[in-house]
Amino acid sequence: MTKLSLSDIDAFKIADDETGETFYGCNQDWYGSDWQRLSGCGPSVVAGILMYLRRDIAVPGAKDKKYAISFMEEVWKYVTPTQRGIHTAEMLRRRVVSYCAAKNLRVASAVCGIPEERVYRPQMKRVWAYMTDALSRDIPIAFLNLHNGEEKNLDEWHWVTVVSAEQAKPNGNVQIVILDRGHSLVVDLSLWLETTHYGGGFVYFSVT
């Protein structure tokens, strides 16, 4: 068995001082407007990932929900959904690169697209190699699911954050742990790749 995980998943923890609740990662439901709450999965995932990648920088209240919301609003200005949301991995990548350029941050990125047409989809071996490359370097992965197929722990047309991946044996099935709306879920990635109708994709960023 091979398991890869981020070194500090607790760095995603965000506390709500008013209710005492603790969440893992940002939640699109925290946005202020109805449209943001409906379409904000992409920018909220990006906000959580950037907070993780730059956690070495001391930011007062960075693990507080109020700070997280203010940062989500900042990210929204650049990672702005269209009427169809942010419906491709490349679209998310371009918007995050624009945000980083505006903030004078150096960024590298890599996309692994999962096309709708099955004949063009990468095999799990390639997807596993992509995840290994990111997680072994302590980099979270943004995951776009356009159709969940037979995997029940995913919402359609939705972005989530991959924080760990596990393969039972070489070239075997892969399970991942994702963060979605402040909670962690286990997803059978092999099942998703085999049964999704519309595909989706993955993006990761290295920010300095």
What are the domain boundaries of the chain?
A: 2-207
What pLDDT does residue 119 have? Answer: 87
Quick one: CATH architecture of 2-207?
A: Alpha-Beta Complex (3.90)
What pLDDT does residue 118 have? Answer: 86
Over the stretch 59-81, which tens digit does the pLDDT of each residue have? 555 678 999 999 999 999 999 99
φ/ψ of residue 28, rounded to 5: -60, -25
Cβ atoms 204, 198 nearer than 8 A: no
What pLDDT does residue 170 have? Answer: 82
Regarding pTM above 0.85, the answer is yes
Q: What is the pLDDT along the chain (208 residues), one digit of tens a residue?
A: 799 999 999 999 999 888 889 999 999 999 999 999 999 999 999 999 999 998 866 555 567 899 999 999 999 999 999 999 999 999 999 999 999 999 999 999 999 999 999 889 999 999 999 999 999 999 999 999 999 999 999 999 999 999 999 998 887 899 999 999 989 999 999 999 999 999 999 999 998 7
